[in-house]
A and B are shown apart, each in its own frame.
Chain A
Amino acid sequence: MNTPIDDGNHNLRYAEYVLGVLDADTRAEVAREVLASDEAATAVALWQRRLIPLAETVGDVAPAPYVWARIHDALQLDAPARAPLAQPRRGLWNNLALWHWLGIGASAVAVALLVVVSLPRPVPAPKVAGIAYMASTIQQDNGTTGWTATMDLQHARMVVVPATPVAFAQGRAPELWLIPAGQKPISVGMIARDKPTTIALDPALLARLGPTAALAVSVEPIGGSPTGQPTGAVIAKGAIGAAPDAGGKVAMIGNVRTDRPWI
């Protein structure tokens, strides 16, 4: 891409590389050079020292807590899956937007939120935004909300509150599933039909929460599905969205797409 005009120009290519203006091929050439030659590596390091301080002017943006969970998962670390991350600026308790967004009677949500917000808060709150909560309205086929799930990503917990108690046959109970887009359902756990259930989310589950995943409830034996996959009828489902307070975009809500073969 460059025709060297003088000696300085060669050095300029390292500057251009650090600045980021080179096309893919020329970038790759310089990157190879850096690996092969100490001189090139030193020249690039010098340009980094000169130019990278500009990044100080870029505003901090807290990433969603599930990013750490994914990193943790990918590297199979043993350290706690919950990095002490940014807190939302306001408590969910006072967040009317979330309540409206959930679009159901406050009483069911209130219980979930009460449980979520009353969890201990060990970390002081830095003033940055990030997705700290997600929520899902798990609806039955007739459009009635069966359960509301609120996920506190920071504390890796989900609170599932029944909105309309659903009747179950003797020996049957609701089991909650997380369905990452295009993947098999993963059991989240058994949930109560008539009272809130708090579930700890392991890193694998936490890493898969997001606007492309869905929650579903199936009818299973009391002890849970014997196969690790849903065996009974799916009675309710819902998309997962970032809670509006949390700086993330509000994702879709309502019934999930029905292109999942098992639903």
Chain B
Amino acid sequence: MSVSSPAERDELNQLLLQTGRNDQKAFAELYRRTSSKLFGVCLRMLRDRGEAEDVLQETYTTVWRRAATFDVAKASAITWLVTLSRNKAIDRLRQHREELLDDPARFDETVDEQPTPAAGAETSQEYRRLQHCLDELEPQQQRSVREAFFTGATYNELATRCKVPLGTMKSWIRRSLMQLRTCLDS
């Protein structure tokens, strides 16, 4: 599924708006076109198919109930949907992180460790711009931002994973975020 072209984006916006008017067909079509993307995002964060399925289910039941609050002037449908699924996945991670971390089986569900656009896949203008700004960060800082985004890890966890003091991790990420804002808003 591609959500990178402006036309595709508009269609998804329309589908979400129609879903907000209780259009079940539009909702089914929206699910068909976006669930693989959202499931990929959830699976990558949760590393467990069952957990990711639960979060995906929660996400779309919330979509159905809250679609009427979607405001196309504030965000595109795909941003709204990805945000919703990430929020639910992060909540789930925070709820029972220990269980997940203790379960070695979850590492079997690794999706892709080095996310890069699939060969030949189209990316949106927004993504290319973001990537350009990420490329201007120090390599280690760029890695930390990516790791944070894709895994939903806390500062503490990121510091442990990268074997740096918590303060260092915080300053890497904060500096990166400030640099990204400057670069993206320029």
Contact = CB atoms under 8 A, between A and B. Distances in A.
B123 interface: yes
B7 to A, nearest CB: 16
B130 to A, nearest CB: 5
Contacts of B112: 58-59
A259 interface: no
Contacts of B60: 71
Contact of B35 (A9, A27, A62): A62
Given A71-B57, A74-B61, A60 B40 contact: yes
A53 B130 contact: yes
A56 B177 contact: no
Contact of B115 (A8, A58, A85, A130): A58
B56 A79 contact: no
Interface size class of A (residues with CB under 8 A): 35 or more
A224 to B, nearest CB: 31
A23 interface: yes
Interface in A32-60: 45, 48-60
A67 B127 contact: no
Contacts of A75: 61, 64
A67 B35 contact: yes
A56 B94 contact: no
A67 B156 CA distance: 33
Given A49-B75, A50-B184, A21 B148 contact: yes
B128 to A, nearest CB: 9
A54 B60 CA distance: 21
Given A19-B148, A21-B148, A248-B49, A128 B83 contact: no
Nearest to A130: B36
Given A19-B177, A21-B154, A53-B127, A128 B36 contact: yes
Contact of A55 (B37, B90, B148, B184): B37
Interface in B114-167: 115-118, 123-124, 126-127, 129-130, 145-146, 148-150, 152-156, 158
A54 B130 contact: yes
Interface string B16-33: 000000001101100110
A22 B117 CA distance: 27
Given A62-B39, A79-B27, A52 B79 contact: yes
Contacts of B174: 9, 12, 16
B124 A53 contact: yes
Contact of B124 (A56, A85, A130): A56
B130 A50 contact: yes
Nearest to A50: B184
A62 B31 CA distance: 11
Given A18-B83, A62-B39, A249-B108, 13 more contacts: A20-B149, A21-B154, A21-B173, A49-B79, A54-B150, A58-B150, A60-B39, A67-B57, A71-B31, A71-B64, A75-B64, A83-B31, A126-B1
12 contacts: A12-B174, A23-B154, A52-B82, A54-B130, A55-B41, A58-B112, A60-B36, A60-B40, A61-B111, A62-B36, A79-B24, A79-B28
Interface of A: 8-9, 12, 15-16, 18-24, 27, 45, 48-64, 67-68, 70-71, 74-75, 77-80, 83-86, 126, 128, 130, 248-249
